[in-house]
Structure formats: structure tokens, C-alpha cells
Amino acid sequence: MSKPRNGNTLTQEKDQRLEAELFGRRALVILALVVLALLILMGRMAYLQVLNHELFTTLSESNRVKLQPLPPSRGLIYDRNGVLLADNLPSYRLEITPEQVEDMDVILDELRRRIPISDQDIGRFRKLVKRTPAYNGVPLRFGLSDREVAALAVDLHRFPGVEIKADLTRYYPMGKHAAHIVGYVGRIDEKELQRIDPGEYAGSTHIGKIGVERSYEDVLRGRVGYQQVETNAQGRVLRVLEKIPPVPGKNLYLTIDTRLQAVAEQALEGHNGAVVALDPRNGEVLAMVSQPSYDPNPFVNGIDSLTYTALNTSPDRPLFNRALRGVYPPGSTVKPAIGLAGLELGVTDRNRSVFCPGLYRLPGQEHKFRDWKRGGHGRTNLDKAITESCDVYFYDLANNMGIDRLHDYLDQFSLGKPTGIDLLGEKPGLLPSPEWKRKAHKQPWYAGETLIAGIGQGYMLTTPLQLAQMTATLANRGKHFKPRLLYATQDQGTQQITPEAPRPLPDIAVKEIRNWDYVIAGMVNVVHGPTGTAKKIAVDLPYRIAGKTGTAQVFSLGQDEKYDATKLAKELQDHALFVAFAPAEAPRIAVAVIAENGGGGSATAAPIARKIMDAYLRELPPS
């Protein structure tokens, strides 16, 4: 077409003009080719989508190759002795494949005449139908009873597209016992749909929502399998072409002992509150009670809104895991740890004593910081201060130590930060510091606030789990572990059990090993000393307990608790706290007890702890 031109002989201007023209012609040619290519493409599309539309529709709808997900079976959950906590039971669900149904309303009416189907079920079903491709089965009702299955099976053949499908559903045989630990599974909701990989959950309807079920979801779930099948127009499988079997999830053995859990629940009976028992030697959670509890079973296949509202709005908050998420002022239970800090930092020593007249004043200030004992404790050294829970001694100690050192020392005991337990949703509590107050309240730290921090009041907030962890750390003399619920995992195929290793935390180093002994001796005197605040539980006690009572002044149950004026009187009562470990010489169990509005720690909380320790050390055969 275009003849070669001799560009060199032309001026730059002319060259540019000619080249631009040449380019323009070539651009038009190539544009024509582009349009031609796109027309060919459209022709191809028309060939596929118009001329051969029916053929491909048939191929798409009938005798098609389907990739079917094979959901894995979820791992079971046991306690440390093999008592079943979460089971899979066969169950039946009613499913409808919309594209095979001519008139959905008629079918639904027919089905409702045979078995009860709530309006809620129908509503959810219709919503799902809109979102799911028409050739996919959509569940209408879960958990059909045998009678319902029988009622439907008689003339199911009259309703093409309606199927009864068998699958496994989660069942928690212990009901509300240990519900806060095990948690529950529920149907996958929209928020979770955004979070999960849909491939991994293909064919699965449920997911761990809370508790161990959620925390160990990845272990329990297993891996989905697939099969390539050839199906006919009705979706019936003609033959399996290829199959990758699913890998079942692992069984979990938890560290808790169901028997001890039951003892702890009974011991706490009548109180809202929490109990946590740890094995200080390895961080295993032996029992974790949050009272009141709830039955997780209704949650599995969708709890009805009435029951849920009742649970959710109850002032006792049964759904709330107090052991993990309830934050309370620790009160005097932190005194042994603060005493240890005083010895270690050289702020006090064993012989140093303070005269306690029943109140304490900062130099140059009028404000009186009162001791719980009106007349005072008189001359008090650290041992007596722990034994009798003398506030004035600890006001003085905290004042001399200063808030920064106090904060940094208690921080080692996992206060004010998550303990790292293998259960999601743990609250960190709060270990106050001037830095924190500046950030959170935009206010300076006052000296008086250091004093009340010294007796575990004021801003300081801890969870029962943290208190148990602190106690275990004291019991094991600074060698401590992350609290742990997973005891072992078991492969469902080979049945092989893999025990879980303890998860050690960095040791708390002390300058003098005797400082542990001194503080622990004070704690033993709390129970066994003639003036100990928990001496009542020492009656007929065949082993030695080291403990510490505490009383937490009540402002609220948790940070998000609503103020309820009608219940003011009851709710204003103090929380009773008791932390302890035993046997004092070679501790095997560390316990923290909180009885909400239970009054004093010695009267209410200490006997609960003793019942648990008696059971664990004396009555229950070792596991």
C-alpha cells in the first residue's frame, strides 16, 4: 500500500507530517482488523449462545459433571478422663431443590400439613432460596424427629425436589455443665461467610461459635473432600468419577475433669460467680465454672428468639463467661504478690513492722485511708499483714514502692493482660499505671491511688482466670505456664493420641528464693494461723492450704454491666474472693473463687475453695 519514502531528505516538519499520515492510515487499518476480530468473536459467541444454546443448556442442566463437596465429620470433645462433652448425632433435615419444584407455595403448604414448620423456618428458607442457585438443595427444617421422618417418607415421592437428608448434628450431653468452656457450634451466618474460605466449608452448615468449639475450630473441623460425579437431570448421581475423601477433624481431650467441674458448680451453687482451678505444675485448667450457665444445645440448629431474648436479657447474664471475661477488683488477693514485690525490691523486709491504728494518712494530707478492721492490727510485719490482711501495712508498702514498680512487678503475674489461655475472648483486665491514666483519663496519677492499688482496689481489675494464674504462679514459685484447656488431640483415623505439651512462660526470677517461702508462709497462716482470715476452713483439714481472702467493693459486675436501680441493695454487696493452692508444700491445685455479692471472702468464698480442693486431693480417684 504505502511506498517507502526517503525520510532523510525531508525537513523535520515535513517528515513529522508524513509520518503522522502514515501512522493514521496504519491505525485505521489496524482498527478495521480490531473491529473484524471483535465481530468474529461476537459471531463465535452467537454460535455458542444462540445457535447452540439449547445444546449447552442441556449439557449444563443434565448429565452434567458435578463437583460435590464431602464435608468432614467434626472431631469429638472429651474431658481428660474421656467423658464425652460434644458428640455428633445422626439427624435428618428437610431439603428442597427449587429448580425441581413447580409451585413452591403448594409444596410448602403440603409439607406444613404433615410436620410443624414455623414461619421463622419459612422466612429463612425463602431468603436462602434467593441467594442460592436453583439447582442447589436448600434446607427447610433441621432436626426432624423419627416420627416426622416417617410422616414425610410415606408420600415423599409425590414431591420431586423434596428430600430428607441425613447428616450429623452436634450434641452436648453435659448440657449446661461446662457450657462456657466447650461452647457450641451454630449455623454459619453472613458475617462468618465473609470471614471463612467457602471452599473449606463447602457442604458444611455449621461452625464453632464460641468456647473450645470456636477456638479449636481449625482442628475440629477437618478437611473437606470432593467427588466428581456425573448426574442426570434430576440431580441423581449416576457414577462417581473421582473422589478425594474428606479428612475428619481431630478429637480433643480437654484438661478439665468433669467430676471436679461438677463439684465446683455445686460448691458455688446459689451464687453468681466463677471458679477457676489450675494445675500449677503445667497450667492445665482442671475446672472452670461460670455461674449461672446455660444449655448450649438449642443454639446448634438455631435457638428460637424467645428463649434467646430471655437468656440474653437476664440480669444474671448466663451467656457471659465470668471466668474468662468477668473483670473484678482483686481486693486483698493481690497482697501476697505485692508483699513479694516489697521483699524483692528491698522496699520492706521480714522484720520491718508498721504500727496499724486502723487508718493511714499520707504525710501532709487530711484524707484517711481506713483499714477494714476498725481498731487496727497494732504492730504488723509482712507475715501478719498477709495473715490478717492488714490494709495499713500495704498502704505503707505501696506508698514506699511507688505505682510504677508495683505495676511492673504485678505485670509478671499476668495481671492486666491476657493470660494466653487457648480460649478466645479473654479479657485483659486492667493493671493501672500513671501512663495508662494519662492516656485513658487524661489525668495525672495521685499518690492516694497508689495506696488503694496496694490493696487491690481502685482501677485494678482482674478476671477470675488471672487470679487463678497468679495463685498458680505463687504456688509454683515463679515457674509458670500459660493456662491450657487442650489436654491431647486424637486422630480419628489412626486413633492415635498426641498429648499437648505445657506452654511455659518466662520464670519470675527472685533475688532470694526464701522470699517465696516467706510470702507462702503468710498464706498458710491465712488458713492455719490462729488469727488467719480464713481459719474457719482449717477445721478437720488433713492437708495444708495456702490461701488469701479478698473482698471487692462493687461498682459493677463487668465493664458493660447496666446500672439497675431496683436491684441496688443486693448489687451493692461486696464480691467475696478467695484464692488458694494446696497442698502448701507441693501444690497440685490452685483455685480462684469469686462469689458475686457474696459478702466477705472468708465466709463465702473460702469454703467453696476447700470443697474443690477436698474433692481433688482426697475424694476423686486420680485421673
Positions in the binding site for another protein (CB under 8 A): 1-8, 12-13, 15-17, 19-24, 26-28, 30-31, 34-35, 37-38, 40-42, 44-46, 48-50, 52-53, 55-57, 59-61, 64-67, 131, 133-135, 193-194, 198, 228, 241-242
Give yes or no: 556 in active site. no
Closer residue to another protein in complex, CB, 194/351:
194
Q: What angle do CA 170, 174, 177 make, to 5 degrees?
A: 120
Closer residue to another protein in complex, CB, 19/517:
19
**CB neighbour list of residue 182: distance below 8 Å, 6 or more residues apart:** 77, 85, 86, 172, 174, 211, 212, 213, 254, 296
How buried is 194 (Cβ within 10 angstroms: 0-12 exposed, 13-18 middle, 19+ buried)? exposed
**CB neighbour list of residue 42: distance below 8 Å, 6 or more residues apart:** none
For residue 205, what is its C-alpha cell? 452448615
Q: How far is the CB of 47 from another protein (least distance, A)?
A: 9
- Residue 340 main-chain phi, psi, to 5 deg: -60, -40
What is 135-159 written as a DSSP string?
TS-EEEEEEE-HHHHHHHHTTGGGS
Cis check: omega of the bond before 583, within 30 degrees of 0: yes
Q: How far is the CB of 163 from another protein (least distance, A)?
A: 18
Closer residue to another protein in complex, CB, 226/436:
226
For residue 302, what is its C-alpha cell? 438455631
Q: How far is the CB of 50 from another protein (least distance, A)?
A: 6
Q: How far is the CB of 239 from another protein (least distance, A)?
A: 12
Return d(Cα 399, Cα 445) in angstroms, integer: 13
Choose, from 91, 204, 215, 332, the residue flagged as catalytic: 332
Closer residue to another protein in complex, CB, 129/262:
129
Structural contact between residues 614 and 589, judged by C-beta atoms closer than 8 angstroms = no
For residue 432, give the nearest of 464, 465, 400, 398 by alpha carbon: 398
Q: How far is the CB of 53 from another protein (least distance, A)?
A: 5
Q: How far is the CB of 120 from another protein (least distance, A)?
A: 24
Closer residue to another protein in complex, CB, 13/146:
13
Integer angstrom CA distances of residue 20 from 13, 267, 343: 11, 95, 91
Annotate 502-520 with b (16+ C-beta within 10 A) or e (fewer): eeebeebeeeeeebbebbb
Q: How far is the CB of 38 from another protein (least distance, A)?
A: 5
Amino acid, res. 590: A
Q: How far is the CB of 568 from another protein (least distance, A)?
A: 46
Closer residue to another protein in complex, CB, 26/379:
26
Q: Which sign, positive or negative, has the C-alpha torsion 201, 205, 209, 213?
A: negative
Structural contact between residues 595 and 271, judged by C-beta atoms closer than 8 angstroms = yes
Closer residue to another protein in complex, CB, 242/512:
242
Structural contact between residues 507 and 539, judged by C-beta atoms closer than 8 angstroms = no
Q: What's the 3-state SS for 55-118?
A: HHHHHHHCCCEEEEEECCCCCCEECCCCCEEEEEEEEEEEEECHHHCCCHHHHHHHHHHHCCCC
Closer residue to another protein in complex, CB, 40/497:
40
Q: Annotated active-site positions, please?
A: 332
